[in-house]
Structure 1
Amino acid sequence: MTQIVVLPHEEYCPEGAVIEATPGTSICEALLENDIPIEHACEMSAACTTCHVIVREGFKSLNPSDEVEDDLLDRAWGLTHLSRLSCQAFVGQGELVVEIPKYSINHAKENH
């Protein structure tokens, strides 16, 4: 199992969290399986950027991004060189520290 440290996020994970994920699991799946309700408006099909995360540590342990993901990331709020779509970033063997950005481009969020 790989440890993922999730930095505090006001809405989704106010206290932060430390979770475990099986290598090969997407970061998005790992967060959802651990009751961290990250947005994923396209149901993890790499068609939006609502599951954008910033991988503060362990970035190189993830699978490489592809051209589709890179093109989508250009639209993400708060993009950095450590940004990934959590639905496309698969956990490897290295520990991760993940930040969920404060905002997303989803203007039609349910229950808000």
Structure 2
Amino acid sequence: MAKVVKLEPISRETTVNTNDNLLSALLDSELHVLKECGGRGMCATCHVYIKEGMESLSPINKREQRTLEVITTANATSRLACQARVLGPGVVVELPSGMYVNAVEDIESLIGRRAEQDILHPLDGRVLVEAGKLITRTMITQLKDTQVQVGQYFANTSDA
């Protein structure tokens, strides 16, 4: 049976089947979520806050807990959308402000402009480029290094 999930601050509602994860609700709402780890609960790219209905979600598992512990913007209402399955009604999700880098090439076209919103690190959620700051070539180099680190991280964890 489908459950309604509210998405804030964009004032949108979507439905998900019982036992589906919140990530499917975000993707069905055509929100740009990276799924850097492929939905394995190992990155920060689907990190959300639960404003209401935490009791209507599956419990936090050990992998999700470990990942949440390294996300710098996480708090007691944090969940990873890929791990939180919707079991009951009344879930209200607050999307964190900022965006994760999908491809460095996308950012290269922005050199010389100001970031419209925070650009976040895909593993720990820390801010790489603050909203309003000028995007420089040096920042692009740092982002490329981050992309390599993320690739190496997931290559190493898939072997384990």
What's the TM-score once normalised by structure 2's chain length? 0.60
Contact 1:7–1:17 (CA<8 Å) still a contact in 2?
yes
CA–CA distance in 1 between the matches of 2:19 and 2:68? Answer: 21
* Identity among equivalent pairs (%): 27
Read off the aligned partner of 1:109 and give its amino acid letter.
N
Between the two proteins, the alignment pairs up a number of residues equal to 104
1:68 to 63, 72, 96: 63
**Structure 1 residue ranges (4+ consecutive) displaced by more than 2 angstroms after TM superposition:** 108-112
Say which structure, 1 or 2, has more relative contact order (CA 8 Å, 6+ apart): 1
Aligned partner of residue 74 in structure 1, secondary structure: helix
Q: What residue in structure 1 maps to residue 86 of structure 2?
A: 91
- Give the gaps of 5 or more residues in structure 2: 108-160
1:16 to 11, 14, 22: 11
CA 1:53/1:76 → structure 2, altered by over 3 Å: closer, same or farther?
same
- 2:102 is equivalent to residue 109 of structure 1: yes
Aligned partner of residue 72 in structure 1, secondary structure: helix
What's the TM-score once normalised by structure 1's chain length? 0.83
2:36 to 21, 33, 41: 41
Q: What residue in structure 2 maps to residue 26 of structure 1?
A: 21
Richer in helix (by share): 2
1:100 to 95, 100, 125: 95
Name which one, 1 or 2, has greater alpha-carbon Rg: 2
Q: What residue in structure 1 maps to residue 153 of structure 2?
A: none
